[in-house]
Every structure is written in structure tokens, then in C-alpha cells.
Amino acid sequence: MFKALQINKDDSGYRAGLESLDESRLPANDVQVDIDYSTLNYKDALAITGKSPIARIFPLVPGIDLAGTVERSSDARFKPGDRVLVNGWGMGENHWGGLSQKARVPGDWLVHVPDGISSHEAMAIGTAGYTAMLCVMALERNGVTPEQGEVIVTGAAGGVGSVAIALLATLGYQVAASTGRPDEADYLKKLGATDIINRNTLSAPGKPLAKIRWAGAVDSVGSHTLANVCAAIRNEGTVAACGLAQGMDFPASVAPFILRGVSLIGINSVLCPQERRLEAWKRLAQDLDRKKLALITGPTISLQDSLDMADDLLAGKVRGRIVVDVNR
């Protein structure tokens, strides 16, 4: 038997709770993992509360991240005792996820935890940090360098934004942080931001083109914010878009793209090719300052706490990353 959060939807309605389950309930897959830590992400909070149709099957164990140790495996690439992690691949949506003490997943989804990163740190990074690294890699591939000017990060106090600021600052970029929480200015500056921007200046409808302000951007907000960021990117600059906290719409014009050559690159961390995943985790082990990661990481919580904290996360009351000790 093992403990897990479970979401059900039936004639009694939609509900999430802590359950004791038998191993026979686990999906049939190649590798069984004893989970040490998971995380609570925005998508997990939506699934737990039912405020968005994230859960596609019922019953479902939520959780888009996990880190733990291989218990048994029929995949030759993984053996008992290996430290592994999973991000995305539909976990917590159409496949049982990481807010559990055990999981069974395809070997193709697994990544060996890099040397020098603990399982707790791997989840402090989690999908948010891994997504932030994919965004930074996209800027680099498209030729955005520190010498070209400032890079803006929207949703700066969230998980993706916080890690993106820490990474960009370590790599030598000047970083502008856009946030709706002015009380987090000191925190963002400790991560490496040199300019704090009130998100209200970007969240309303704007002009097709604006005065050039930034060489690149990491955006986790979408909607008018993304449109206004694109309108203020320098010639041949790049925006990496990975989120929709403000909305799925994109009320923009083609002007930044055809008059300034701006590139808008979508970041799909869920189904990212394995080769790029491995590169991202290698870079995180190399480029993410552990002291800054500690600043980003909040108190470690339990599975039960995850139920209680989901609403606070959706309300924007949570800073940085939430690690879940599934065995607490």
C-alpha cells in the first residue's frame, strides 16, 4: 500500500483527497519508482481544485513532476537504485503523476538526476526550472547575447520567472523583472534582476509597435503582456513564450515580426524531445546557482498540505517553488 493524492469525478461531483492505494492500481509500465519528492505547480493546483479541465482521466493522481529511486525496471537503461526524475509527458493530466509515494512510468520518460543535484533540489527546480532553462536555451540558439541589451522576464516571482532570472543573471544578462507583487522587489534583485517593472504597465491593450526596450524575453503570462513585450523587442530579438497566466489569447499584430524581425518561440516542456531535456538538465546542474535556488524554494510541504495550498497558488500568493515530501 502507498499514499497518493487522488482526483475523482463521478455522480458525487469533483473531489481530491489523500488515499491509500494498492500497487496493483499503478499503470502498467516499464519502470516503478519509489518517489522521494514531487512539486506543486500551477497546473497541479488547477487539477486539484477542478478550476480548469486539466485532469483527462478519472481517477487520477495529479503531479507533473517526480524525483525518486528506481525500485524495479524492465528497461535496461535503468536499474534498481538509480536516481531518476520525470517532468511532463502528460503526468497529472492523462497519466498518473508524482503526488504519490510510488509511480510506474515508461523508461522513455525518465532522466537520470545529474550528479551534484539532490532529489530535493531536482524538485525545487522541477518543470518550472526546466522550462526556464529551455527558454534560456532558445534565446541563446537565436543569438540573443548579454551584449545586445536587457532581457525581460514576466511573471517574475513565479517558479519559471524566478529560475529564469537566476539563470540569466548568472550567464551575464541584465534582467528586467515584471511582477504584480512590488513587495517581492528585494527577492527579485537577490536573484539578479536589475530593473523591476510593474506588470500593470504591460497587461493592458497596447500599440502594435512600441519603443524598443529589450533584446529578448521569457514570458509565462501570455495575452496582452506577451503582445506588449513583443512590441518592444529590438530588431532580430527573440521572445520565448511558455505560459498563459493572464490568458491564452494573443491580441497582437504582425508588426514586430515583419518590421523588426522579432522571433516568437513557443516552449513545449511537456513533450520536449529527450535530447533537449538531457541538455537542459545538464545545463541546470552547471549554470543554476544553488544559493539562488535556495532563495527560490519555499518550505517543503506534505501531500495533505498540497490540497490546502492549491488555492493560494492559483491566487498568486505563493512565491517561487513548492517541494512536496510525499513521505511526510
Where do the domains of the chain lie? 2-113+298-325, 128-266
CB 237 within 8 A of CB 264: no
The pLDDT score that the predictor gives to residue 263 is 98
- Please compute the mean of the pLDDT values over residues 292-305 and round it to a whole number: 95
Residue 255 grid coordinates:
508588426
The pLDDT score that the predictor gives to residue 269 is 95
At 12, the pLDDT band (50, 70, 90 cuts) reads: confident
Q: Do domains 2-113+298-325 and 128-266 have the same CATH topology?
A: no
The pLDDT score that the predictor gives to residue 318 is 84
- Please compute the mean of the pLDDT values over residues 298-313 and round it to a whole number: 94
At 201, the pLDDT band (50, 70, 90 cuts) reads: very high
Q: Is the peptide bond preceding residue 59 cis, with omega within 30 degrees of 0?
A: yes
CATH number of the structural domain 128-266? 3.40.50.720
- Please compute the mean of the pLDDT values over residues 302-328 and round it to a whole number: 92
Q: Give the residue, 99 or 42, on which the prediction is more confident.
A: 99
The pLDDT score that the predictor gives to residue 276 is 96
Residue 109 grid coordinates:
520518460
CB 134 within 8 A of CB 280: yes
Phi, psi of 57 (to 5 degrees): -130, 155
Q: Which of 183, 193, 181, 263 lies closest to 229, judged by CA?
A: 263
Strand 102-105 with 31-39, pairing: antiparallel
The pLDDT score that the predictor gives to residue 73 is 98
Q: Domain 2-113+298-325 belongs to what architecture?
A: Alpha-Beta Complex (3.90)
pTM: 0.94
The pLDDT score that the predictor gives to residue 224 is 98
- Please compute the mean of the pLDDT values over residues 120-136 and round it to a whole number: 97
3-state DSSP assignment of residue 227: helix
Residue tagged 519509489 (cell numbers): 34
